[in-house]
Structure 1
Amino acid sequence: MSQQSPQTPPKRAIIPIHIAPQAPCCAPSSPTDHGDDHGHTDSCCGPATQAAQLVSPSSQEAPPDAARVRYRIEQMDCPTEERLIRNKLEPMPGIVRLDFNLIGRELTIYHRLNDLHPVEEALIAIGMGPHLIEAGQRPTALPPALPMRARLWLAVSGVAAVAAEATAWITGNEHHPLGAVLAVVAILTSGLPTLKKGWIALRHFTLNIYFLMTLAVGGALIIGRWSEAAMVVFLFALAEAIEALSLERARHAIQSLSALAPDTAQVWLGSNWVSQPVEQVRTGARIRVRAGERVPLDARVTQGQAALNEAPITGESLPVEKQEGDTLYAGTIVTNGVLEALVTAAASDSTLARVARAIQEAQSQRAPMQRFVDQFARYYTPIVVLLALATAVLGPLLTTQGWLHWVYQALVMLVIACPCALVVSTPVTVVSGLAAAARRGILVKGGAHLEGGRLLKAIALDKTGTLTHGKPALTLVHSLGALTDTEALRLAATLDHHSAHPVAQAVVQGWEARAAGQAPLSEVTAFHSLHGQGVRGDIDQQTWHLGNHRLLEDLGLCSPALEAQLAEIEQTGQTALILINRAGPQALLAVSDTLRPESTDAISQLKALGIHPVMLSGDNALAARHMAQQAGIDDARGNLLPDDKLKAIEDLILEHGHVCMVGDGVNDGPALARAHIGLAMGAAGTATALEAADVAIMDDDPRKIATFVRLSHRTSAVLKQNIALALGIKLVFFGLALTGHATLWMAVFADMGASLIVVFNGLRLLRFKD
């Protein structure tokens, strides 16, 4: 017996948080902090690394000492079977928790048992034959919801049921022998699965739709309503078939995520390219992907250039240019060019596989609305059954109509009694919402978070890497003497071309973007790095310095006018650099983190949703306020350490209620854990962020935060619509049954018709358009 031990983090808590082991990372600093070459502390963690370090523990994890085992149960595709399994397994000693994935027909059991044979025997006893899913094994594909044989028998049943009704109507005799034979044919061809499940429910004292339908059909046969019993069985089977096809559509929406990666990869073996199954390709293998093909595995480009469609991962359909050193994600599509790359993760651990796995697991975490519906249904069905019994007993005593009439109405109420429409509406809606989010590059880790997004009143956003690009960029070149701006930038780039510091690279990239091609960079001799100040080198036999305010002071070249210009730059959160030769300062340059072009629109969308945006930053208050003003945020708070961000979240909760924290760095960990929803930005390719965040935006587009909130509102609205529809339809037919005007036909339409309506309504979320 293979068992899986849970690989999940501990129960969600404020502190302490778990930080995944990484290389040491320094927190963002203000422009005036001590640092190296340019006086700016080296940020050794980019957004992707920071995202990998943040942790926001899940809220629905089993105890750490419980083992885990997964079963495929092909007979389980409805909340009816879920309740039957719960009633059977939950009282068993050693069972810790049961998680159900009805769409994927998977049951996960958390337990403290040495032998699982009693569990398997109990499942077999209730007709739920389990198939063990081994640790790490990919579940086999489910059979079609309605195979050809089932369609044939359903057609035969329909013809027989219609013929039985026609016989009764033409002859005026419900008990006509031909009608009775046709009714038996209809019941045997489509009703046996229902009757079998009804018998199992009866044996295990479970009130479900199969037990109630079996009772209603049996009662109808006893009182001589043969043709009507046949038609009820056929209509019930037809409705179940349509519902199964609808649920299959939702299942395919989820399975399509993991099916995006190809089954084989072109691998370099010896001296040839060989096609290999992706499961056999090991980390470090060399693969090739050509135009029109999907990337088979996560990898890093070693040769070639190409444009890729990364929509399967990030939801962004615009092609992304890839070159040597860039990351490739499994499932993305090469639109042009050819790439060679080294595999960085096995097929089972690719970003795409982790996303699909996370959504599969999210289906088992019930949303608050779903828990309410389940609790409501637990009391609703017995009450209605008792009401039906009272109708059968009291009807003849309180009215002039006979017992046959009221027994028939009681049978009608039994069919209406099952809350199938009510219960099935929530998982279908939640799964559709999860799939719709995933298609847009938003990974939501459970129905509770999907539903909770609509409650948010304030969102706290980290500045660096969330609203900004997270890396320095050249923002200003201003000549102070005879040099032109272009010539000053060329000289600065010539010096910084020899430095690997991020600020230096920003100057070089600024030259390449603005003036590359106008003049080549010069040769530098006698190059020196001046620790904490800048760099020095000889260009064309003339000594040049490029550095910070401290370098200017050490060279004794400060002046009131220059001090004022430097102060103006630094007050906006930028790092000022001065280009100096023997004649004195020749130019001012400024480097700073820059606002993402989408950030302003993202903040506007959040405000339109009635959400109060707040910026939380470790940078100085002036820099934070300056960037916040550009983004349209009125509330900006700077100089915050991790504990300060945690305190800020607690204050926002007291002031606004439900709060979300958005971040991408280790410093955001405590705040992410404390907020009602922790949202990770730029999580593609980072295992820890995918596994730990409540919600993960796969790319760096902050506008998707508002998309998530709108999808949450839409999901909640559909859930409420479905509950209102299911209860409303049943109330109408209850009224008809109590007044003696309902028929078994009507009852079937009331129950299964309502189920189909709410299922189709829930599936509308798959077509969600922001």
Structure 2
Amino acid sequence: MSRKSSSNDKPDPTSQQTCCDHSPPEISAADVVRPPGSGAARAASVTPVAGVPGTGPARFRIDTMDCTAEEAEIRRALEPISGIRSLSFQLRARTLGIDAPAEVLPAALAAIRKAGFSPEAIQADATVEEQTREDHPDVHDHEHEVGGGIWRLALALAMAVAAEALSYFAPETQLWKFAGMAVAAVAIWLAGLDVYKKGVAALMRGKLNINALMSVAVTGAFFIGQWPEAAMVMALYGIAELIEARAVDRARNAIKGLLDLAPDQALVQQTGGQWVATPVQAVAVGATVRVGPGQRVPLDGVVTRGNGAVNQAPVTGESIPVDKTVGDPVYAGTINETGELEFRVTAGATNTTLARIIAAVEKAQGTRAPTQRFVDRFAAIYTPAVFLIALAVAIGAPFLMGLTWLEALYKALVLLVIACPCALVISTPVTVVSGLAAAARRGILIKGGTYLESARLLKAVAFDKTGTVTEGKPKLVDWMPWGTGNPAQTQLLAVSLAARSDHPVSGAIAAALPGDRLQVQDFTALPGRGVEGTVEQQRLFLGNHRAVHERGLCGPEVEAVLQAHEHQGRTVTLLANATRVLAIFAVADTIRPTSEQAIRDLKALGVTPVMLTGDNNATARAIAAQAGITDARGELLPEAKLEVIKQMQQRYGATGMAGDGINDAPALAQADLGFAMGGAGTDTAMESADIVIMNDDLRRVAEVVALSKSTHSVLWQNIVLALGIKAVFLVLAVFASATMWMAVFADMGASLLVVANGLRLLRATTGEGVCKAVAPAAAGGHAHVH
């Protein structure tokens, strides 16, 4: 499961698929080509061609390209042409973007036409509405097509029923026979015109896909006198295809919904102070934007005025709204639930956190999981093999089984309908996309099906301490006055000195003890030791253990208290005058509220947690004990963390690493699976890891493992289901009575079953921890995320 082989996860242009599998378009981050405008336009703008300012990839519509098998053929046709920088496919929109110099395009188009496709140029100066229509026909034209398709298929089904009725009840005369054949032919034409177009095109290219197989089978059945059955099969096939496509769209739309999170316009402050509604793509970085209660935040920014509770669930998966005030970040697509906020824009419409999430998810859809690659390879062998079996039955059955030639040919045609591995091929991308969507809803960005599927293999996960297991911010956890004196006055003296220092420990003391401040004179910073100053005519020192010890102020009792704090991983600061210690302050980086639950969840899933930190061993052990981690390694430099990951891989096997994605980069790269924490708004975290936890909730790591187990389980359920149904009907077709009706129900019924099974993962959301699925996983069963 080494990430070193991740390059193999990218789409294989030489792979062959024998079925229009409705799998997601394979899109690389650099390939995404969309017009400026609403929704999708903000997710990824047109990528300029290098060296040609203001231009983008040439875009073409190919009406007969709507599945990955046809995409692979086009890729292979364009491979020999030099000068093509990248290709971008939008299968649902049937569009292709070619990033290449203008002089290369004629050769590219000639190669596409030679492969049997007819590209039509999309005008570069098309309006936003026209381009949106072209890129997303499911939003405009597709609605009309689906509506028209339903009525056309309903009429085809009625005609097929009429053909069956004429076959059974009409008198046995040539007139009624021709009438029945005519009705059947109309039904086939209504339901199967597109199938025939694609089937003929595929056969001319020497390809065997579902359209080619159905075209041959239905035509053969019609001409051997089984015209009522041929009409019914084509009508049922068309209806099943429509239902299947709508079901698959549900999986895609679960992620596509991200595109609609951010509004199209923002209320922007103008130079004169007035507020004007402006398209988000026209809002410049640095502009001031206002968002009222109940409105969605249109762009990323930093709050400059106001306060309110913002629901960040669409981006980070946090279930509780987060309070925002001046200086806090806000993200596009989140919801301002209370109060009015004004914020300074920090990222353009195409570079917001939401836009980067969408681009990463689209790239993730383009990477194929190991199971999907296996299925694709299997399907490329399976369909031609069954076609040969059907041919053998047609030729050999009259001699070996005593059948007539028409009976043998009918059996062969039934086999052709059964042959398509549509259910097998479609099951994997639907399942993977459903899993990716379920994770995205929880604020977990998984960068590909490979990582989603391989997370189940993790045996150990290493956690960085600061900012991952802990909050990453020092807090005052305890303080006590020492000796005689007024505690309130002692606190005031300490806070007055601490407020003058810029050291994080001093800042934690000042933040935890609010109140008045006294004037400090002759303030002096002592690097590595503390600060010193005169407060109310007495010289005071606020500093660390070593500095107080050097001044000879640490007696046995003070030492005992300091050692007790330090054994708990706390940083101790002392307030002293020239003769004695006045107060002791203990500051610590506290663990996150969710860390303990996260570690329990991982252990229940059979994953061993290990904590790595650059802090001293005493601090490491103390923090690890609070989180429930028994193996803690301290005093580690980034290079040393990498070596620990190697040791863990040798000891445990597949090992993950969770860190902030910056100083943990070497360890993240070495680990089999890298988790970056707190990815919202962080470019480095989003780029450096395989999985990004958009908020800092450590429980998401265990949820990824549980979701991976569920995804793998569903994948193999679908494979067994699809192959099992095929096997049963193949036997029935050869050795018993299996009709074309049974064949089409076997093929399309299996497809619908595996799609529905894969869509179950869309419900994979959890409450606290990894929900009820952790217990069976710990007992050796499969974990299912509910």
Q: TM-score, normalised by structure 1?
A: 0.87
Deviates more, 1:81-90 or 1:560-569: 81-90
The 5 A counterparts of 1:659-738 are 659-738=655-734
Mapped pair 1:491 → 2:493:
yes
Matches within 5 A, 1:109-508: 115-123=104-112, 126-127=116-117, 129=119, 140-143=135-138, 144=142, 146-171=145-170, 176-271=177-272, 272-483=274-485, 487-508=489-510
Question: 1: distance between equivalents of 2:173 and 2:109?
Answer: 45
Q: Closer, same or farther in 2 for the Cα pair 1:87/1:198, shift >3 Å? A: farther
Measure, in 2, the Cα distance between the counterparts of 1:198 and 1:332.
46
Q: CA deviation at 1:641?
A: 1.3
Q: CA 1:740–1:266 in structure 2 vs 1: closer, same or farther (change >3 Å)?
A: same
The CA deviation at 1:189 is: 1.3
Q: Match for 1:148: what amino acid? A: G
1:595 aligns with 2:603: no
User: How far does the alpha carbon of each residue in 1:562-614 deviate from its partner, in whole angstroms, 9 at most, with x for none?
Assistant: 22322332233321111113451011111121111111110000000000111
Q: 1:631 aligns with which of 613, 621, 627?
A: 627
3-state DSSP class of the match of 1:340?
strand
Take 2:486 and 2:213, find their aligned partners in 1: how far apart are those partners? 88
Contact 2:662 2:685 in 1 (8 A): no
From the superposition, tell whether residues 383 and 90 of structure 1 become closer, same or farther in structure 2 (CA, over 3 Å).
Answer: farther
Contact 1:359 1:445 in 2 (8 A): yes
Paired amino acid for 1:247: V
**Is contact 1:84–1:206 with CA below 8 Å preserved after alignment?**
no
Query: Aligned equivalents of 1:757 and 1:445: distance in 2?
Result: 27
Give CA deviations for 1:714-739 in whole Å, capped at 9, x if unaligned.
11111111111111111111011011
* Aligned counterpart for 2:754 among listed residues 751, 758, 769: 758
AA matched with 2:104:
D
Relative distance call for 1:286 and 1:701 in structure 2 (3 A) is: same
Corresponding position of 2:67 = 78
With over 3 angstroms needed to count, the CA separation of the structure-2 counterparts of 1:721 and 1:695, relative to structure 1, is same
- 1:587 alignment partner, SS class: strand
**1:742 corresponds to which residue?**
738
Decide whether the 8 Å contact of 2:662 with 2:684 is kept in 1.
no
Residue 670 of structure 2 aligns to which amino acid in structure 1? R
1:357 to 1:579, Cα distance in 2 relative to 1, 3 A: same
Q: Structure 1 128/172 Cα, relative in aligned 2: closer, same or farther at 3 Å?
A: farther
Q: Distance in 2 between matches of 1:148 and 1:197?
A: 21
Distance 1:73 1:606, change over 3 A: farther
The one-character-per-residue Cα deviations of 1:192-233 (angstroms, maximum 9, x if unpaired) are 100000010011001111111010011011101111111111
Distance 1:374 1:92 in 2: 26
Which AA in structure 2 matches 1:298?
D
Match of 1:46 in 2: none
Contact 2:95 2:135 in 1 (8 A): no
Q: Equivalent residue of 1:678, what SS?
A: strand
User: Which stretch shifts more, 291-300 or 690-699?
Assistant: 690-699
Structure 2 CA distance, aligned partners of 1:381 and 1:467?
51
| SS of equivalent to 1:389 | helix
- Of residues 525, 531, 541, the one that matches 1:529 is 525
Q: Which residue of 2 aligns with 1:22?
A: none
CA distance in 2, matches of 1:59, 1:607: 36
Q: Are positions 1:768 and 2:748 aligned together?
A: no
Contact 2:661/2:684, CA 8 A, preserved across alignment:
no
1:484 and 1:74 map into 2 onto residues whose CA distance is 85
Q: What is the Cα deviation at residue 109 of structure 1? A: 6.9
- Tell me the distance in 1 between the aligned counterparts of 2:757 and 2:366: 21
Structure 2 runs not aligned, ≥5 long: 8-26, 32-48, 51-55, 767-786
CA contact (8 A) 2:545 2:573 kept: yes
* Whole-angstrom distance in 2 between the partners of 1:103 and 1:574: 57
Report the Cα distance in structure 1 between the residues aligned to 2:289 and 2:643, rounded to whole angstroms: 48
In structure 1, the partner of 2:784 is none
Contact 1:313 1:352 in 2 (8 A): yes
Contact persistence 1:89–1:122 (CA under 8 A): yes
Give unpaired runs (5+ residues) of structure 1. 1-8, 14-57
Give the drift of 1:481.
1.3
| Cα deviation 1:242-266 (Å, max 9, x = unaligned) | 1121122222211111210000000
Q: Structure 1 residues 426 and 96 mapped into 2: Cα distance closer, same or farther (>3 Å)?
A: farther
1:11 Cα deviation after fit: 8.9
Output aligned runs, 1:8-87, within 5 Å: 75-86=64-75
Deviation of 1:553 after TM superposition, in Å, equals 3.0
Shift in CA distance, 178/665, structure 1 to aligned 2, threshold 3 Å: closer
Cα distance, 1:89 vs structure 2: 4.4
Q: Which residue of 2 aligns with 1:20?
A: none
The code of the aligned residue for 1:571 comes to H
- Comparing 495-504 with 344-353, which one deviates more in the overlay? 495-504
Tell me if structure 2 keeps the 8 A contact 1:69–1:110: yes
Q: For residues 403 and 281 of structure 1, what CA distance do their matches in structure 2 show?
A: 73
Q: 1:437: how far off?
A: 0.5
The amino acid across from 1:393 in the alignment is I
Q: Distance in 2 between matches of 1:642 and 1:127?
A: 53
Amino acid at match of 2:684: T
Q: In the aligned structure 2, how far is the partner of 1:529 from the partner of 1:541?
A: 18
Amino acid at match of 2:106: H
- The normalised TM-score by structure 2 is 0.85
Kept after mapping to 2: 8 A contact 1:12/1:673: no
Give the CA deviation at 1:509: 1.6
TM superposition shift of 1:500: 2.1
The percentage of counterpart residues that share the same residue type is 50
Cα deviation, residue 182, structure 1: 1.1
Whole-angstrom distance in 1 between the partners of 2:694 and 2:527: 38
Deviations along 1:55-82, whole A, 9 cap, x unmatched? xxx99999xxx99968676654434434
CA 1:101–1:503 in structure 2 vs 1: closer, same or farther (change >3 Å)? farther
CA distance in 2, matches of 1:710, 1:104: 34
* 1:534-571 per-position Cα deviation (integer Å, ceiling 9, x unaligned): 12233333332211123313433232332232233223
| Structure 2 CA distance for partners of 1:605 and 1:69, relative to 1, 3 Å | farther
- Name the aligned partner's letter for residue 449 of structure 1: Y
Deviation at 1:441, TM superposition (A): 0.3
Change (3 A) 1:377 1:112: farther
CA distance in 2, matches of 1:174, 1:508: 102
CA distance in 2, matches of 1:384, 1:86: 26
| RMSD (Å) for aligned C-alpha atoms | 2.9
Cα distance in 2 for residues equivalent to 1:642 and 1:255: 38
* Amino acid in the other structure paired with 2:538: Q
Distance in 2, Cα, partners of 1:227 & 1:446: 46
Following superposition, the deviation at residue 524 of structure 1 comes to: 3.0
CA distance in 2, matches of 1:408, 1:210: 18
